[in-house]
Amino acid sequence: MNRSFEDAVPTKEASHKGLNSYYRIRLDDLEGALALLQEEGARLSTITGKDARDHLEVLYHFAIWGELHTVIVDLPYDKPDIPTITNHFVNALLYERELIGLLGINVIGIPDARPLELPPKYTDPTAPLRRV
Amino acid sequence: MADVNERRFANLKVPIGPSHPALEEPARFLFEVEGEKVINVDYEIGYNHRSIERLCQERPLSKVVYLVERICGICSHTHPLNHVERVEDIADIEVTARAKYIRTIYAELERIHSHMLWAGIAGHEIGYYTLFMYTWREREKVMDLFEMLSGSRIMHGCNTVGGVKWNVAEEQAKSAVRVLTYLDTAADKITKAVLKDSNIAERGKGVGSLSREDAVRLGAVGPNARASGVPEDTRVMCKYAAYGDFDLEPQTAKDGDVVAQALVRLAELKQSIWLTKELFANLPEGPIQVEYDEIPPGRSVGRTEAPRGELIHYTETNGTRFFERIKIRSPTLANIPSYVPKFLGCQIADIPIIAASIDPCFSCTDRMTVIKDGKRKIVSARELKSGRI
């Protein structure tokens, strides 16, 4: 990256190892982080959702040539809402649909909210990758 | 062009899949057509769920390498390779040079047989059965090589945290180089058969095109992106395993159509044969495994170049016997959005070859959760063994 992520976006925690960088940010700063990454020509590689037992985590993995930059956002259990990033990265749709189906995360403003892998008849209220 | 995320259909709809003679992968496409012309497309995946990410969190650390090996029959080396590299990154384990070379040999042999398989499938989809028979006959020689090196054609069981399990004997290396020399000539013949054939040119030129802008915008990866002129190859960008020791050029084409896809894969076939011979010729001496202590808590995300493109594993450990989280994104999932511009405006008859052109593999794309009667079900090891799922 040409610009330092930590200088451009308020970061709660950052670590670097080899080609990988991890930044934990507040949900409010996500928009700024996405704008920066878009400016740097990053490609969204995938999104990981994780049940961290007391909260949920969404990890956005961005590739810039050989580097991988992971932006981590924490979500509370009682309000697992996160805005869609398809307005910045159109290929986020499939990964966000995965978050909806498998982790029960509410992606606000997503153009297609059908769970990606789950069948229409899936009725269990608990998302499959939640630690219940 | 309709927006890739728009799903409003007004005209006649033609469903293809999840079981269809023209699509030998468990995905469902819904095409909206005007006459013979496709004007919109929707896709649905998820017909092949096996709960692997969840199962990875419920198995002891040492068992997970066997599980990830079974994600995909074709990429049965690159999945465990990425997995063990993630664990080694977390635990700061430095693998020996010989182990890195052996891992790279398997990875390249996998690419050779996968690209040959693709060329055969492409021939099958356009009714060119001579090409199908010819490429698959040659592919068998790679499978025999795998059997010679690891004892198994598909599940090689090569990777382990700290190195590899199977060494390469001198006689095996000599014999492999002989086979690779033969395959080099065969690859030339396949390339000539594909690129000089007027029928292939007519069926593939300008069919299923993907512009460079769309490839970048839609996050396409691997040969699919390189066929549109995006020079991204994880082997070159990340230099994992032994790739840092060799000067590789990403193989690219311009048009992103079926012919460009063939051009890229055939060039990679030649490149991989050359690279594998180099790897055998320069195989360093030394042990193939290193010892390590416990795996500490940590996280690692990394990429390898599977035959179909960039494969990502995110691995998190928590200091216990179990993984905190393993997330896998296979290349086909990243390539699915690029189907939309490829299909729009095409003829119905071209659907099978366009669908096959990105070399889709849904066995590693659908890998999450077993659903039975609309209920979530976690599969026990006993049930998995007995086949009662």
Question: Inter-chain contact B371–A68, Cβ cutoff 8 Å?
Answer: no
pLDDT tens-place string over residues A9-37 = 999 999 999 999 999 999 999 999 999 99
Q: Can you tell me the ipTM of this complex?
A: 0.96
CB proximity B70 to A under 8 Å? no
Report yes or no: B361 and B75 within 8 Å, Cβ to Cβ.
yes
- CB-CB neighbours of B304 under 10 Å: 25
Nearest by CB to residue B45, choosing from A89, A116, A129, is: A116
Q: How is chain B split into domains, by residue range?
A: 53-296
**String of DSSP letters for B242-277:** TGGGS-------SS-SHHHHHHHHHHHHHHHHHHHH
Question: Inter-chain contact B5–A94, Cβ cutoff 8 Å?
Answer: no
Q: How confident is the model at residue A125 (pLDDT cuts 50, 70, 90)?
A: confident
Helices (H) and strands (E) in chain B, counts: 16, 10
pLDDT tens-place string over residues B207-266 = 999 999 999 999 999 999 999 999 999 999 999 999 999 999 999 999 999 999 999 999
Nearest CA in chain A to B333: A94
Question: Inter-chain contact A117–B4, Cβ cutoff 8 Å?
Answer: no
CB proximity A59 to B under 8 Å? yes
Q: How confident is the model at residue B26 (pLDDT cuts 50, 70, 90)?
A: confident
CB proximity A69 to B under 8 Å? no
Chain B closest-CA separation from residue A66 CA (Å): 4
CB proximity A109 to B under 8 Å? no
pLDDT tens-place string over residues A42-83 = 999 999 999 999 999 999 999 999 999 999 999 999 999 999
> What is residue B382's predicted lDDT score, i.e. its pLDDT?
55
- For the segment B197-203, the average pLDDT, to the nearest whole number, is 88
Which structural domains are found in chain A, ordered by start?
Answer: 5-108 (3.30.460.80)
B356/B339 Cα distance (integer angstroms)? 10
Q: Global pTM?
A: 0.91
Report yes or no: B383 and B331 within 8 Å, Cβ to Cβ.
no
Going by the DSSP 8-state scheme, the letter that residue B283 receives in this structure is P
Nearest CA in chain A to B338: A91
Question: Inter-chain contact B374–A17, Cβ cutoff 8 Å?
Answer: no
Whether domain B53-296 has CATH 3.30.70.3000: the reply is: no
> What is residue B271's predicted lDDT score, i.e. its pLDDT?
97
> What is residue B383's predicted lDDT score, i.e. its pLDDT?
54
Ranges assigned E (strand) in chain B: 12-16, 28-34, 37-44, 159-160, 163-164, 298-306, 309-317, 323-329, 370-372, 375-377
In total, the C-beta contacts within 8 angstroms joining chain A to chain B are: 108
* Residue B366 in tokens: 């659908």
B329/B324 Cα distance (integer angstroms)? 17
Chain B closest-CA separation from residue A19 CA (Å): 8
CB proximity B355 to A under 8 Å? no
Question: Inter-chain contact A91–B316, Cβ cutoff 8 Å?
Answer: no
